[in-house]
Amino acid sequence: MGMFQKLKIGDDVTPEIDWQMTPEMSFGTFESWGGREYIRSKVSETERVYYFFVDNWGREPKLCLMERGVKHAEVIAQIMAPPELVKDCVEGQGTSSLFEKSYAINEQIKEWLIINILETDDVSRVIPIVKTVQIEDMGEALPSLENSRFSGEVTQLPVEESFLQQSEIPELMKKWNFFEAESNPDGYFTNHFADTGDGLTLVDEHTGLMWQREGIDITSVRTMLRIIEKVNKENFAGYSDWRMPSMEEAMSLMDPQQNEKGIYLQPCFSKEQPFIFVNARRKPGGYWFVDYKQGRAFWSSGTIPGGFARLCRTV
């Protein structure tokens, strides 16, 4: 296949396209336990699967080639298909949620790919995506914890797991004066961040919480809990009591203004965890998340698409 040769994949054995794989199924296969037609326990750490999908996150939808594996996901090429063909596929999806913008291809795109990409040596429509390493801007240096001038009272936020209905969210946001784009757009909770000096964490002296500057990649809630256990066994940053934040703790980080990285957080936090699990479940079902990209709290399934995490601990 000329496409894989251009992408420099499969020098010895030419890979095959998995026409059954979809964005939704790939999460169940490689990130959670057991897909619909695949069992993760039978997938090796080095195995790679290739499938086409439609990316509708930007202004215009585009057809892409995904390389997928256990804890590995990389879009390796854009396929320059006729725009009308790709748009028809998107329109055929009907109404989708805010976080479902990657679609399985339809039969029309599959037929076009076979004829114009896979059964021809013309690879001009295959555009490799070159990975670039970017160093994230983490903002201006914070004052050190040792030299902090914080003299205010510590606000003790709830720590325990909570069970919340949608109707309870506005009252919670107003009680603590948290900014939340939908239910409390005028809210503002002040923080007093200090640098611990390890490059990994910081402390909000207003709440008495230590936070990860970065966090944990997207996965299911079940896998996330196992990762937190591992983080504590390995004494991340010298501590073994890291946990998922409560709804109130996670919302305390929400900033009323989007920063230059496009998230409602101070720049001292990474943008790579746009929405995170919190230690709260929805009544009657589902899990609550805090979304720093949209500036809100929302609920969804704990499995697909899952969520990121930014852990905290009480100082």
Report pLDDT for 41: 44
Domain boundary among 109, 128, 147: 128
The stretch 134-145 carries a mean pLDDT of: 91
Does residue 156 form part of some domain?
Answer: no
The residue whose two tokens read 């964005």 is 23
Indicate whether 184 and 233 sit together in one domain: yes
Report pLDDT for 37: 38
Domain boundary among 128, 148, 178: 128
Does residue 241 form part of some domain?
Answer: yes
CA distance 231 to 225: 10
Nearest to 54, CA basis, from 110, 117, 5: 110
Report pLDDT for 100: 66
Indicate whether 210 and 80 sit together in one domain: no
Q: Pick the more confident residue, 142 or 1.
A: 142
Indicate whether 290 and 206 sit together in one domain: yes
Does residue 133 form part of some domain?
Answer: no
Indicate whether 213 and 268 sit together in one domain: yes
Structural domain for 211, as ranges: 162-314
Indicate whether 34 and 124 sit together in one domain: yes
Report pLDDT for 57: 85
Say how many CA atoms lie within 13 Å of 22 toward its Cβ: 16
Domain boundary among 113, 128, 143: 128
Indicate whether 178 and 285 sit together in one domain: yes
Indicate whether 208 and 267 sit together in one domain: yes
Report pLDDT for 15: 85
Report pLDDT for 45: 59
Indicate whether 101 and 193 sit together in one domain: no
Does residue 90 form part of some domain?
Answer: yes
**36 has a pLDDT exceeding 80:** no
Does residue 102 form part of some domain?
Answer: yes
Domains contained in the chain, number: 2
Does residue 138 form part of some domain?
Answer: no
pLDDT, tens digit, 9 for 90 and up, residues 178-218: 999 999 999 999 999 999 999 999 999 999 999 999 999 98
Three-state DSSP string of the chain? CHHHHHCCCCCCCCCCECCCCCHHHHHHHHCCCCCCCCCHHHCCCCCCEEEEEEECCCCCCEEEEEEEECCEEEEEEEECCCHHHHHHHHHCCCCCCCCCCEEECCHHHHHHHHHHHHCCCCCCCEEECCCCCCCCCCCCCCCECCCCCCCCCCCCCCCCCEEECHHHHHHHHHHHCCCECCCECCCCCCCCEEECCCCCEEEECCCCEEEECCCEEEECHHHHHHHHHHHHHCCHHHCCCCECCCHHHHHCCCCCCCCCCCCCCCCCCCCCCCEEEEEEEECCCCEEEEECCCCEEEEECCCCCCEEECCEEEC
Indicate whether 182 and 72 sit together in one domain: no
Does residue 135 form part of some domain?
Answer: no
Indicate whether 90 and 186 sit together in one domain: no
pLDDT > 90: percent of the chain: 69
Indicate whether 124 and 166 sit together in one domain: no
Does residue 141 form part of some domain?
Answer: no
pLDDT, tens digit, 9 for 90 and up, residues 76-122: 999 999 999 999 999 998 755 555 688 999 999 999 999 999 999 89
CA distances from 91 to 24, 55, 161, 249 (A): 18, 13, 40, 39
pLDDT > 70: percent of the chain: 88
**32 has a pLDDT exceeding 60:** no
Indicate whether 202 and 81 sit together in one domain: no
The tokens for 119 are 């059964």
Report pLDDT for 8: 77
Mean pLDDT check: name the lowest of 56-60, 132-136, 198-202, 211-215. 132-136
pLDDT, tens digit, 9 for 90 and up, residues 218-239: 888 998 999 999 999 999 999 9
